[in-house]
Amino acid sequence: MAQRFACHKISEGKATAESILSPERIMFYQVRPEDGMMEEKDHAIEGEIIAKKVLIFPGGKGSSVVQQDGLYHLDQFHNMPAALIVKNPDPVLVAGAIIMQIPMVDRLPEEFYEAVRDGQTITVNADEGYVEIED
């Protein structure tokens, strides 16, 4: 049985994919567009692939130019995350998700963050305001 959690829609859409968690903020300019691999040195998920996954992270980092450029290049190579679950959205990250049409949500309860793990199948339904973790 799936666990369902209420959330707040930032950018519309629905996606189901494998989860990847980052305890650190993400600068999308540091993600290799050709395969979606995090290249930032000493980042908690350095070497991990975020492409086509539900990315769960605290928020973005870097200027608006590097954030949008990084997302744009990921999109060009079809290696965007499937959805974004963010704890602390900022205007640059929000604008990027909306422009690139990536489902993005926030305001999940602490129980979600206690339950979720890397590699789980996650459904983000921003339109209906919920996130599900498959068992």
Active site residues: 63
Distance CA 120, CA 23 (A): 16
Could you tell me the two tokens for 75?
Answer: 């999109």
Q: Which residue blocks in the chain are alpha helix, DSSP H?
A: 64-76, 91-100, 110-115
Contacting residues for 30 by C-beta, under 8 A, at least 6 apart: 38, 39, 40, 43, 70
Location of structure tokens 């928020």: 59
Distance CA 106, CA 10 (A): 7
Of the candidates 78, 85, 71, the residue with the CA atom closest to the CA atom of residue 13? 85
